[in-house]
Structure 1
Amino acid sequence: MSESTALQARYTWGGDEFLFVEIAEAMSLAANFTANAMANLLQHRNVDGITDICPANASLLIRFNPDLVPPQELEDLVRRVEAEVAQLTHQTLSTRIIEIPVWYDDPFTRETGSRFRKGHQRPEGTDLDFAAEENGLTSAKEFIRRHHESPWLVSMVGFVAGLPFMFQIVPQDEQLEVPKYLSPRTDTPPLTVGHGGCFACIYSVRGAGGYQMFGIAAAPIFDPAQRLPDFDDFMIFFKPGDIVKFKPVDEAEYRQIQAQVENGHFRYRQAPVTFDLQQAMLDPKDYNKKMMEHLDGV
């Protein structure tokens, strides 16, 4: 995996209250690291007048009050932050690795997929069959193995409340890529594990969608009532920079987790980690193995 970290951002204005910083046109680990690192530094600056900072896959959106911070002053500040991140000789991010149980090839997404085959590239078969074929794999089973054996970086959270976009930490030639539906669905089960382009996602709530459907996560990622312990601090579980390790479960394990969710006792397995961009790019397979070991014994 070879990616240049010497990225030059493009700055544009959105009306009177938004500054958009495009790190790169294409998603990469380096571009996403820059966006998140800049967001973290700006957050710690506690600048009077900045009201919101939203890092995305390869960009950054900043909302501000022009009566409190003049636009040119804000741009100068953000450019200094960009230069500070670019000068980092060792790029690391303090984050966490989380195990997400998934029932792959489940009946809920299968049934939904069967209702929307007219809007699909491959009317026969399933989304998993199509994904395997698109990636030159022999079977849906092989695709599922490739999907869960390496961890994913949460590159941004959005679209609907709490939905994470995830980018697999593997060499570029091993990225799983699958096009979206030709025509979007009007229905997607909540907690569907989907995929569009090079991004995985988990649909936090039921609704429309166009990503291919591979399975269903066993526990909530969005809890407005904050019933579960993992949501004590916020109703949205994922944060940009989180590392996700999908864990396949069968129906019995899925039902068991659902019961734990219902009685309010479910907790995600997670552990603090320091994500090292250089090591991840130099030898992703070895680095992924070491990162996943943090979950042992949790």
Structure 2
Amino acid sequence: MSDTVTLTNPARYTWGGDEFLFVEIDEAMSLAANFTANAMAGHLTAEEVDGVIDICPANASLLIRFDPDVLPHAQLEERMRRIERAVEGLSHPTLATRVVEVPVWYDDPYTGATGARFRKGHQRPDGNDLDFAAEENNLASAAEFIERHHSSPWLVSMVGFVAGLPFMFQIVPQPEQLEVPKYLSPRTDTPALTVGHGGCFACIYSVRGAGGYQMFGIAAAPIFDPHQKLTDFADFMVFFKPGDIVKFKPIDEAEYERIQIEVEAGTYVYRQASVVFDLQQALADPVAHNRHILEALDGV
């Protein structure tokens, strides 16, 4: 996590063929770099520029697809550099967003059984992912790791890899961040809605498939709904977007099964609240900032 708001170097602009502009904010992920990428993407979206086809913000960069017959390369780069300067000039960077509660059955039998099938490709063949994660973070037990995992909020830094999968960055001082290496050899199977972790990033696998992140539990409700059956997906089949804030809520098997019934009936709704992410406060006093975020959710 960066301890300053201002980035030391200007963004790097490179072209991908005739239709893509890649803007690299920083080489390393930080709250400041991610805020800049999302803020620049937000400015460009708001300007509704003819010729811009798609805008894809990532952890510390953004990719813009455009039609060069409508929007010349030089004009797009000039506009983006102006937007970059405007974002850098913000005296108090904030982002109007939402905090979402995500129920998770930690240490569940589904990810446990999958992990057991792939121990040969793991750093700790004789254990499980949670025990390994606890050891890697010098914690006394898997229970302590789970407590650390769900007690602080996470910022959705980007969405991708597969449809609807959010990458999340823990909003805590860098020495307190949970970090766990990926599997030595990727799995060919991961249960849908697995809560995983690789490096400093958490994720939720939106669909079943291959993966290499450590597995800690399973989320109870969909985050990708191509049939848009649930109310939360009325506008779009992907639930999360960059800038969202996630608060994991530990649940037991009974609560997990209750939520499954609601999901099947089409009545489940995520608990969420509108909040303002304050970059300066998150960097200067993350404890107070996180308390403010969680109080908004508790007030729902």
Q: Name the TM-score, length of structure 1 as normaliser.
A: 0.99
* Cα deviation, residue 297, structure 1: 3.8
* Residue in structure 1 matched with residue 22 of structure 2 by the alignment: 20
Q: CA RMSD in A?
A: 0.8
Q: Where in structure 2 are the equivalents of 1:1-298 lying within 5 Å?
A: 2-6=3-7, 7-298=9-300
Once the two structures are superposed, what CA deviation does each residue of 1:171-212 show, in whole Å capped at 9, x if it has no partner? 011111100000000000000000000000000000000000
The answer (yes or no) to whether the contact 2:5–2:280 under 8 Å persists in 1 is: no
Sequence identity percentage = 75
The answer (yes or no) to whether the contact 2:179–2:199 under 8 Å persists in 1 is: yes
Once the two structures are superposed, what CA deviation does each residue of 1:214-272 show, in whole Å capped at 9, x if it has no partner? 00000000000000000000000001000000000000000000000010110000000
Once the two structures are superposed, what CA deviation does each residue of 1:71-105 show, in whole Å capped at 9, x if it has no partner? 01110110000000000000000100000000000
Which sections of structure 1, spanning at least 5 residues, go unmatched? none
Tell me the amino acid that sits aligned with residue 158 of structure 2: M
* Cα deviation, residue 4, structure 1: 4.2
Q: Find the aligned partners of 2:298 and 2:133 in 1 and give their Cα distance.
A: 31
Q: Find the aligned partners of 2:210 and 2:33 in 1 and give their Cα distance.
A: 29
Aligned partner of residue 215 in structure 2, secondary structure: strand
Q: Find the aligned partners of 2:235 and 2:255 in 1 and give their Cα distance.
A: 27
The answer (yes or no) to whether the contact 1:3–1:28 under 8 Å persists in 2 is: no
Tell me the amino acid that sits aligned with residue 101 of structure 1: P
Q: Find the aligned partners of 2:5 and 2:99 in 1 and give their Cα distance.
A: 25
Aligned partner of residue 60 in structure 1, secondary structure: strand
Q: Find the aligned partners of 1:43 and 1:95 in 2 and give their Cα distance.
A: 16
Q: Find the aligned partners of 1:289 and 1:21 in 2 and give their Cα distance.
A: 33
* Cα deviation, residue 3, structure 1: 2.9
Which sections of structure 2, spanning at least 5 residues, go unmatched? none
